[in-house]
Amino acid sequence: MKNLIPYGKHYIDEEDIEAVVDVLRHKNLTQGRMVNEFEESVAKFVGAKYAVAMSSWTAGLHMACLVAGVKENHLVATSPITFVASANAAKFCQADPIFCDIDRLSLNISPIQLQAVVRNTPDKIQAIIPVHFAGTPCDMKSIHSIAREVDSYVIEDAAHALGAKYSDGSMVGSCGYSDMTGFSFHPVKSIAAGEGGMITTNNKDIYEKLLKLRSHGISKSDKHINHSSAYTNEIQNPWYYEMQELGFNYRITDIQCALGLSQLKKLPKFLARRRDLVTQYDNAFSHLKNLTPTQLAYRNQSSHHLYVIRINFDAIVMSRAELMGELRKEGVLAQVHYIPVTSHPYYQELGFDSADYPEALKYYEEALSIPLYYSLTNEDQDRVISLITKLIG
Ligand SMILES: *Cc1c(COP(=O)(O)O)cnc(C)c1O
Protein backbone atom coordinates (compact mmCIF):
# COMPACT_ATOMS: atom_id res chain seq x y z
CA MET A 1 0.00 0.00 0.00
CA LYS A 2 1.30 3.42 -0.97
CA ASN A 3 1.40 6.12 1.69
CA LEU A 4 -1.91 7.91 2.20
CA ILE A 5 -2.15 11.50 1.02
CA PRO A 6 -4.92 13.33 2.91
CA TYR A 7 -6.39 16.66 1.75
CA GLY A 8 -4.81 18.46 4.70
CA LYS A 9 -2.49 17.67 7.57
CA HIS A 10 -0.59 19.32 10.40
CA TYR A 11 3.19 19.39 10.68
CA ILE A 12 4.94 18.95 14.03
CA ASP A 13 8.70 19.09 14.56
CA GLU A 14 11.01 18.53 17.56
CA GLU A 15 10.88 22.22 18.47
CA ASP A 16 7.10 21.97 18.85
CA ILE A 17 7.44 18.86 21.02
CA GLU A 18 10.05 20.54 23.22
CA ALA A 19 7.86 23.62 23.63
CA VAL A 20 5.01 21.46 24.90
CA VAL A 21 7.25 19.35 27.14
CA ASP A 22 8.73 22.52 28.62
CA VAL A 23 5.25 23.55 29.77
CA LEU A 24 4.61 20.09 31.22
CA ARG A 25 7.90 20.14 33.12
CA HIS A 26 8.19 23.73 34.23
CA LYS A 27 5.12 25.86 33.72
CA ASN A 28 1.47 26.41 34.57
CA LEU A 29 -0.73 24.06 32.60
CA THR A 30 -3.45 26.68 32.23
CA GLN A 31 -3.99 30.40 32.96
CA GLY A 32 -0.25 31.00 32.73
CA ARG A 33 2.13 33.10 30.67
CA MET A 34 2.00 31.02 27.49
CA VAL A 35 -1.57 32.13 26.83
CA ASN A 36 -0.55 35.80 26.92
CA GLU A 37 2.53 35.17 24.83
CA PHE A 38 0.54 33.37 22.15
CA GLU A 39 -2.03 36.17 22.13
CA GLU A 40 0.60 38.87 21.88
CA SER A 41 2.42 37.06 19.07
CA VAL A 42 -0.70 36.59 16.95
CA ALA A 43 -1.79 40.20 17.55
CA LYS A 44 1.64 41.37 16.42
CA PHE A 45 1.67 39.05 13.40
CA VAL A 46 -1.67 40.29 12.05
CA GLY A 47 -1.29 43.89 13.24
CA ALA A 48 -4.15 44.08 15.75
CA LYS A 49 -4.14 45.81 19.12
CA TYR A 50 -5.64 42.98 21.14
CA ALA A 51 -6.05 39.22 20.96
CA VAL A 52 -7.93 36.73 23.12
CA ALA A 53 -7.24 32.99 22.81
CA MET A 54 -9.94 30.43 23.56
CA SER A 55 -10.63 26.71 23.50
CA SER A 56 -11.84 26.75 19.89
CA TRP A 57 -12.95 29.24 17.26
CA THR A 58 -16.45 27.79 17.65
CA ALA A 59 -16.34 28.98 21.28
CA GLY A 60 -14.94 32.25 19.93
CA LEU A 61 -17.84 32.64 17.49
CA HIS A 62 -20.27 32.20 20.38
CA MET A 63 -18.53 34.88 22.44
CA ALA A 64 -18.09 37.21 19.47
CA CYS A 65 -21.83 37.10 18.76
CA LEU A 66 -22.64 37.74 22.43
CA VAL A 67 -20.27 40.70 22.49
CA ALA A 68 -21.94 41.96 19.31
CA GLY A 69 -25.23 41.88 21.21
CA VAL A 70 -26.77 39.13 19.10
CA LYS A 71 -29.96 37.89 20.74
CA GLU A 72 -33.49 36.66 20.08
CA ASN A 73 -35.18 38.11 16.98
CA HIS A 74 -31.84 39.14 15.51
CA LEU A 75 -30.32 37.85 12.29
CA VAL A 76 -26.70 37.07 11.55
CA ALA A 77 -25.69 37.12 7.89
CA THR A 78 -23.14 34.63 6.58
CA SER A 79 -22.18 32.47 3.61
CA PRO A 80 -23.79 29.11 2.84
CA ILE A 81 -20.37 27.79 1.80
CA THR A 82 -18.69 27.50 5.17
CA PHE A 83 -18.27 25.13 8.06
CA VAL A 84 -21.52 24.89 10.03
CA ALA A 85 -20.03 26.69 13.04
CA SER A 86 -20.19 30.09 11.28
CA ALA A 87 -23.98 29.86 11.13
CA ASN A 88 -24.46 27.95 14.38
CA ALA A 89 -23.07 30.96 16.25
CA ALA A 90 -26.35 32.77 15.57
CA LYS A 91 -28.34 29.85 16.99
CA PHE A 92 -26.12 29.76 20.11
CA CYS A 93 -27.49 33.25 20.85
CA GLN A 94 -31.16 32.40 20.08
CA ALA A 95 -30.88 34.35 16.82
CA ASP A 96 -31.15 33.03 13.25
CA PRO A 97 -28.66 32.99 10.43
CA ILE A 98 -29.52 34.56 7.09
CA PHE A 99 -27.51 33.39 4.12
CA CYS A 100 -26.16 35.40 1.19
CA ASP A 101 -25.12 33.63 -1.98
CA ILE A 102 -21.46 33.47 -2.93
CA ASP A 103 -19.51 35.27 -5.62
CA ARG A 104 -18.58 32.90 -8.44
CA LEU A 105 -14.93 33.96 -8.61
CA SER A 106 -13.95 34.44 -4.97
CA LEU A 107 -16.37 31.80 -3.60
CA ASN A 108 -16.89 34.24 -0.72
CA ILE A 109 -20.07 36.01 0.30
CA SER A 110 -21.05 38.30 -2.58
CA PRO A 111 -21.30 41.97 -1.55
CA ILE A 112 -24.04 42.39 -4.17
CA GLN A 113 -26.09 39.61 -2.59
CA LEU A 114 -25.36 40.97 0.88
CA GLN A 115 -26.53 44.41 -0.18
CA ALA A 116 -29.76 42.91 -1.53
CA VAL A 117 -30.34 40.84 1.61
CA VAL A 118 -29.74 43.84 3.84
CA ARG A 119 -32.15 46.00 1.80
CA ASN A 120 -34.90 43.36 1.69
CA THR A 121 -34.76 42.21 5.29
CA PRO A 122 -36.90 44.12 7.77
CA ASP A 123 -35.49 42.26 10.80
CA LYS A 124 -32.36 43.48 12.49
CA ILE A 125 -29.14 42.03 11.09
CA GLN A 126 -27.07 42.41 14.23
CA ALA A 127 -23.90 40.88 12.84
CA ILE A 128 -22.35 39.87 9.54
CA ILE A 129 -19.91 36.95 9.54
CA PRO A 130 -17.96 36.95 6.27
CA VAL A 131 -15.85 33.81 5.80
CA HIS A 132 -12.49 34.00 4.03
CA PHE A 133 -13.11 30.73 2.27
CA ALA A 134 -10.05 28.55 1.59
CA GLY A 135 -7.83 31.48 2.57
CA THR A 136 -9.07 33.99 -0.01
CA PRO A 137 -10.02 37.23 1.76
CA CYS A 138 -13.52 38.64 1.29
CA ASP A 139 -14.17 42.05 -0.21
CA MET A 140 -14.11 43.57 3.27
CA LYS A 141 -14.26 47.17 2.15
CA SER A 142 -17.68 46.61 0.55
CA ILE A 143 -18.91 44.38 3.36
CA HIS A 144 -17.84 46.93 5.98
CA SER A 145 -19.64 49.76 4.25
CA ILE A 146 -22.84 47.69 3.89
CA ALA A 147 -22.59 46.80 7.59
CA ARG A 148 -22.29 50.45 8.55
CA GLU A 149 -25.42 51.32 6.60
CA VAL A 150 -27.48 49.03 8.82
CA ASP A 151 -25.40 49.31 11.98
CA SER A 152 -24.28 45.67 12.05
CA TYR A 153 -21.19 44.29 13.71
CA VAL A 154 -18.70 42.58 11.43
CA ILE A 155 -17.09 39.37 12.71
CA GLU A 156 -14.62 37.88 10.23
CA ASP A 157 -14.40 34.10 10.16
CA ALA A 158 -10.72 33.75 9.33
CA ALA A 159 -10.42 30.07 10.28
CA HIS A 160 -8.79 29.53 6.87
CA ALA A 161 -6.98 32.82 6.60
CA LEU A 162 -4.14 33.26 9.08
CA GLY A 163 -1.45 34.88 6.93
CA ALA A 164 -3.80 36.10 4.18
CA LYS A 165 -3.85 39.72 3.01
CA TYR A 166 -6.65 42.07 1.95
CA SER A 167 -6.46 43.79 -1.41
CA ASP A 168 -4.90 46.83 0.31
CA GLY A 169 -2.03 44.66 1.55
CA SER A 170 -2.97 44.68 5.24
CA MET A 171 -3.17 41.38 7.10
CA VAL A 172 -6.40 39.51 7.75
CA GLY A 173 -6.95 39.98 11.47
CA SER A 174 -5.84 43.60 11.57
CA CYS A 175 -9.54 44.47 11.82
CA GLY A 176 -9.45 47.57 9.64
CA TYR A 177 -12.87 46.59 8.27
CA SER A 178 -14.37 44.65 11.16
CA ASP A 179 -14.98 44.59 14.89
CA MET A 180 -13.41 41.18 15.43
CA THR A 181 -11.58 38.51 13.46
CA GLY A 182 -11.37 34.88 14.54
CA PHE A 183 -8.86 32.13 13.80
CA SER A 184 -8.84 28.38 14.42
CA PHE A 185 -5.91 26.22 15.47
CA HIS A 186 -7.50 22.87 14.72
CA PRO A 187 -4.76 20.67 13.21
CA VAL A 188 -6.15 20.95 9.69
CA LYS A 189 -5.83 24.78 9.76
CA SER A 190 -2.68 26.79 9.06
CA ILE A 191 -1.11 26.28 12.49
CA ALA A 192 -2.08 23.66 15.07
CA ALA A 193 -2.64 23.90 18.80
CA GLY A 194 -4.56 20.61 19.05
CA GLU A 195 -7.76 22.59 19.46
CA GLY A 196 -7.91 26.34 19.89
CA GLY A 197 -9.07 29.67 18.60
CA MET A 198 -8.22 33.35 18.80
CA ILE A 199 -10.06 36.60 18.28
CA THR A 200 -8.25 39.80 17.35
CA THR A 201 -9.76 43.26 17.77
CA ASN A 202 -8.71 46.89 18.00
CA ASN A 203 -11.49 47.71 20.46
CA LYS A 204 -10.53 47.69 24.15
CA ASP A 205 -14.12 47.32 25.31
CA ILE A 206 -14.65 44.25 23.10
CA TYR A 207 -11.33 42.85 24.31
CA GLU A 208 -12.33 43.15 27.97
CA LYS A 209 -15.76 41.63 27.36
CA LEU A 210 -14.19 38.63 25.64
CA LEU A 211 -11.77 38.09 28.52
CA LYS A 212 -14.65 38.05 30.95
CA LEU A 213 -16.91 35.74 28.91
CA ARG A 214 -14.03 33.32 28.46
CA SER A 215 -13.88 32.74 32.19
CA HIS A 216 -17.39 32.48 33.66
CA GLY A 217 -18.19 36.18 33.42
CA ILE A 218 -15.94 36.65 36.43
CA SER A 219 -13.78 39.66 37.16
CA LYS A 220 -11.34 40.37 39.99
CA SER A 221 -10.65 43.98 39.21
CA ASP A 222 -12.25 45.95 36.46
CA LYS A 223 -14.09 49.22 36.20
CA HIS A 224 -17.44 47.59 36.96
CA ILE A 225 -16.36 45.97 40.23
CA ASN A 226 -18.41 46.54 43.39
CA HIS A 227 -15.98 48.78 45.19
CA SER A 228 -17.29 48.36 48.72
CA SER A 229 -17.12 44.53 48.46
CA ALA A 230 -13.80 44.45 46.66
CA TYR A 231 -11.85 46.79 48.92
CA THR A 232 -11.10 47.24 52.65
CA ASN A 233 -9.62 50.62 53.51
CA GLU A 234 -8.85 51.15 49.79
CA ILE A 235 -6.81 47.92 49.70
CA GLN A 236 -8.07 45.17 47.38
CA ASN A 237 -9.43 42.14 49.22
CA PRO A 238 -7.24 39.20 48.21
CA TRP A 239 -10.08 36.66 48.05
CA TYR A 240 -12.53 38.76 46.17
CA TYR A 241 -13.91 38.13 42.70
CA GLU A 242 -17.35 38.67 41.33
CA MET A 243 -19.46 37.18 38.58
CA GLN A 244 -20.95 40.04 36.62
CA GLU A 245 -22.65 38.15 33.82
CA LEU A 246 -23.18 34.62 32.55
CA GLY A 247 -19.90 33.42 31.07
CA PHE A 248 -18.28 30.13 30.19
CA ASN A 249 -15.13 28.13 30.58
CA TYR A 250 -13.83 28.71 27.07
CA ARG A 251 -10.20 28.93 28.20
CA ILE A 252 -7.32 27.41 26.29
CA THR A 253 -4.45 25.68 28.10
CA ASP A 254 -0.82 26.77 28.24
CA ILE A 255 0.05 23.39 26.73
CA GLN A 256 -1.93 24.26 23.62
CA CYS A 257 -0.61 27.82 23.49
CA ALA A 258 3.00 26.64 23.69
CA LEU A 259 2.34 24.50 20.64
CA GLY A 260 0.54 27.33 18.86
CA LEU A 261 3.37 29.73 19.61
CA SER A 262 5.99 27.32 18.34
CA GLN A 263 3.92 26.69 15.20
CA LEU A 264 3.47 30.41 14.58
CA LYS A 265 7.25 30.75 14.16
CA LYS A 266 7.00 28.34 11.24
CA LEU A 267 3.97 29.98 9.62
CA PRO A 268 5.93 31.98 7.00
CA LYS A 269 7.59 28.76 5.89
CA PHE A 270 4.23 26.94 5.89
CA LEU A 271 2.64 29.67 3.78
CA ALA A 272 5.50 29.76 1.27
CA ARG A 273 5.36 26.00 0.71
CA ARG A 274 1.60 26.05 0.28
CA ARG A 275 2.00 28.82 -2.27
CA ASP A 276 4.55 26.80 -4.26
CA LEU A 277 2.30 23.76 -4.24
CA VAL A 278 -0.61 25.88 -5.46
CA THR A 279 1.50 27.27 -8.31
CA GLN A 280 2.45 23.74 -9.32
CA TYR A 281 -1.18 22.62 -9.35
CA ASP A 282 -2.20 25.74 -11.30
CA ASN A 283 0.41 25.05 -13.96
CA ALA A 284 -0.37 21.35 -14.19
CA PHE A 285 -4.12 21.86 -14.58
CA SER A 286 -4.16 24.92 -16.83
CA HIS A 287 -4.71 22.84 -19.99
CA LEU A 288 -7.44 20.52 -18.67
CA LYS A 289 -10.83 21.10 -20.22
CA ASN A 290 -13.17 19.69 -17.57
CA LEU A 291 -11.29 20.89 -14.51
CA THR A 292 -11.10 24.50 -13.32
CA PRO A 293 -8.96 25.69 -10.43
CA THR A 294 -10.89 28.18 -8.24
CA GLN A 295 -10.02 31.60 -6.80
CA LEU A 296 -7.23 32.06 -9.37
CA ALA A 297 -7.52 35.85 -9.28
CA TYR A 298 -6.69 35.94 -5.55
CA ARG A 299 -3.52 33.87 -5.43
CA ASN A 300 -1.28 36.67 -4.12
CA GLN A 301 -3.66 37.48 -1.25
CA SER A 302 -4.52 33.97 -0.12
CA SER A 303 -3.19 31.89 2.77
CA HIS A 304 -3.88 28.81 0.58
CA HIS A 305 -5.77 26.77 3.13
CA LEU A 306 -7.44 24.56 0.52
CA TYR A 307 -6.87 23.77 -3.14
CA VAL A 308 -10.37 23.51 -4.57
CA ILE A 309 -11.01 22.43 -8.14
CA ARG A 310 -14.33 22.47 -9.98
CA ILE A 311 -15.04 19.50 -12.17
CA ASN A 312 -17.57 19.07 -14.94
CA PHE A 313 -18.71 15.63 -13.81
CA ASP A 314 -21.24 15.27 -16.63
CA ALA A 315 -18.49 15.76 -19.22
CA ILE A 316 -16.10 13.25 -17.65
CA VAL A 317 -18.97 10.75 -17.30
CA MET A 318 -18.00 9.95 -13.75
CA SER A 319 -19.70 10.95 -10.51
CA ARG A 320 -17.83 12.68 -7.71
CA ALA A 321 -18.25 9.61 -5.54
CA GLU A 322 -16.67 7.46 -8.27
CA LEU A 323 -13.82 9.90 -8.76
CA MET A 324 -13.15 10.06 -5.02
CA GLY A 325 -13.25 6.27 -4.94
CA GLU A 326 -10.68 6.02 -7.75
CA LEU A 327 -8.43 8.52 -5.95
CA ARG A 328 -8.79 6.65 -2.68
CA LYS A 329 -7.73 3.38 -4.36
CA GLU A 330 -4.43 5.13 -5.06
CA GLY A 331 -4.19 6.51 -1.53
CA VAL A 332 -5.34 10.05 -2.35
CA LEU A 333 -8.01 11.32 0.03
CA ALA A 334 -9.91 14.23 -1.47
CA GLN A 335 -12.72 16.04 0.36
CA VAL A 336 -15.59 18.44 -0.34
CA HIS A 337 -15.67 21.88 1.27
CA TYR A 338 -18.47 22.40 1.97
CA ILE A 339 -21.92 20.92 1.82
CA PRO A 340 -23.96 24.17 1.88
CA VAL A 341 -24.98 24.89 5.47
CA THR A 342 -28.55 25.23 4.18
CA SER A 343 -28.53 21.58 3.02
CA HIS A 344 -28.04 20.17 6.51
CA PRO A 345 -31.19 18.64 8.04
CA TYR A 346 -31.03 21.00 11.03
CA TYR A 347 -31.22 24.05 8.75
CA GLN A 348 -33.68 22.46 6.34
CA GLU A 349 -36.02 21.96 9.27
CA LEU A 350 -35.69 25.66 9.99
CA GLY A 351 -36.98 26.31 6.47
CA PHE A 352 -33.78 26.97 4.55
CA ASP A 353 -33.43 25.67 1.00
CA SER A 354 -30.13 25.56 -0.87
CA ALA A 355 -31.97 26.20 -4.14
CA ASP A 356 -32.23 29.81 -2.95
CA TYR A 357 -28.44 30.11 -3.30
CA PRO A 358 -27.79 29.00 -6.89
CA GLU A 359 -24.08 29.93 -7.06
CA ALA A 360 -23.41 28.07 -3.81
CA LEU A 361 -25.35 25.03 -4.99
CA LYS A 362 -23.66 24.95 -8.39
CA TYR A 363 -20.28 25.32 -6.71
CA TYR A 364 -21.09 22.48 -4.32
CA GLU A 365 -22.01 20.13 -7.16
CA GLU A 366 -18.64 20.67 -8.86
CA ALA A 367 -16.21 21.12 -5.97
CA LEU A 368 -13.38 18.92 -4.81
CA SER A 369 -10.52 19.78 -2.41
CA ILE A 370 -7.32 17.99 -3.31
CA PRO A 371 -4.26 17.53 -1.06
CA LEU A 372 -2.54 20.71 0.09
CA TYR A 373 -0.37 20.91 3.18
CA TYR A 374 3.14 21.95 4.18
CA SER A 375 4.70 18.47 4.23
CA LEU A 376 3.21 17.32 0.92
CA THR A 377 6.28 16.27 -1.06
CA ASN A 378 6.83 17.06 -4.73
CA GLU A 379 6.71 13.32 -5.47
CA ASP A 380 3.35 12.93 -3.75
CA GLN A 381 1.99 16.04 -5.44
CA ASP A 382 3.12 14.65 -8.80
CA ARG A 383 1.25 11.45 -7.98
CA VAL A 384 -1.90 13.47 -7.30
CA ILE A 385 -1.46 15.50 -10.48
CA SER A 386 -0.89 12.54 -12.79
CA LEU A 387 -3.76 10.59 -11.24
CA ILE A 388 -6.21 13.48 -11.64
CA THR A 389 -4.96 14.22 -15.14
CA LYS A 390 -5.46 10.59 -16.08
CA LEU A 391 -8.96 10.40 -14.56
CA ILE A 392 -10.23 13.79 -15.77
CA GLY A 393 -8.09 14.58 -18.77
C1 LIG B 1 -12.63 25.20 11.48
C2 LIG B 1 -13.62 26.24 11.23
C3 LIG B 1 -14.41 26.79 12.26
C4 LIG B 1 -14.40 26.26 13.66
O5 LIG B 1 -13.16 26.33 14.27
P6 LIG B 1 -12.82 25.35 15.50
O7 LIG B 1 -11.57 25.92 16.07
O8 LIG B 1 -12.65 23.98 14.93
O9 LIG B 1 -13.96 25.42 16.46
C10 LIG B 1 -15.28 27.82 11.93
N11 LIG B 1 -15.38 28.28 10.68
C12 LIG B 1 -14.66 27.76 9.67
C13 LIG B 1 -14.81 28.34 8.30
C14 LIG B 1 -13.78 26.72 9.91
O15 LIG B 1 -13.10 26.19 8.88
130 CA distance to ligand 1 centroid (A)?
A: 13
Q: Is the pLDDT of residue 2 over 90?
A: no
Domain count, the chain: 2
List the alpha helices (DSSP H) in 27-106. Answer: 33-46, 57-67, 85-92
CB-ligand 1 contact for 5 (6 Å cutoff): no
Please tell me whether residues 78 and 145 are part of one structural domain: yes
Domain hosting 317: range is 267-392
Q: Please report, rounded to a whole number, the percentage of residues in the chain having pLDDT higher than 70.
A: 100
Neighbours of 74 (CB within 10 A): 21
Average pLDDT on 347-355 reads 98
Please tell me whether residues 130 and 239 are part of one structural domain: yes
What confidence tens digit (pLDDT) does each residue in 370-392 have? 999 999 999 999 999 999 999 99
What confidence tens digit (pLDDT) does each residue in 54-93 have? 999 999 999 999 999 999 999 999 999 999 999 999 999 9
316 CA distance to ligand 1 centroid (A)?
A: 33
Please tell me whether residues 199 and 320 are part of one structural domain: no
Ligand 1, atom 8, lies closest to the CA of: 186
At residue 51, the pLDDT reads 98
Ligand 1, atom nearest to 195 Cα: 7
CB-ligand 1 contact for 252 (6 Å cutoff): no
CB-ligand 1 contact for 183 (6 Å cutoff): no
Is residue 179 in a domain?
yes
Helices 14-26 + 254-285 axis angle, to 10? 170
What confidence tens digit (pLDDT) does each residue in 84-135 have? 999 999 999 999 999 999 999 999 999 999 999 999 999 999 999 999 999 9
What confidence tens digit (pLDDT) does each residue in 121-173 have? 999 999 999 999 999 999 999 999 999 999 999 999 999 999 999 999 999 99
Q: What is the pTM of this model?
A: 0.98
Is residue 44 in a domain?
yes
What confidence tens digit (pLDDT) does each residue in 11-58 have? 999 999 999 999 999 999 999 999 999 999 999 999 999 999 999 999
pLDDT band, residue 1 (cuts 50/70/90)? low
The rounded distance, in Å, linking the Cα atoms of 34 and 317 is 53
Is residue 294 in a domain?
yes
Kindly report the average pLDDT of the chain as a whole number.
97
188 CA distance to ligand 1 centroid (A)?
A: 10
Is residue 302 in a domain?
yes
Is residue 1 in a domain?
no
How is 166-225 classified by DSSP, letter by letter?
A: -TTSPBTTS-SS-SEEEEE--TTSSS--SS-EEEEES-HHHHHHHHHHHBTTEESSSTTS
Beta carbons within 8 Å of 80's beta carbon, 6+ residues apart: 99, 101, 102, 340, 341, 342, 354, 357, 360
At residue 106, the pLDDT reads 98
At residue 393, the pLDDT reads 82
CB-ligand 1 contact for 152 (6 Å cutoff): no
- Boundary-marking domain end, from 210, 236, 265: 265
CB-ligand 1 contact for 186 (6 Å cutoff): yes
Is residue 253 in a domain?
yes
CB-ligand 1 contact for 197 (6 Å cutoff): yes
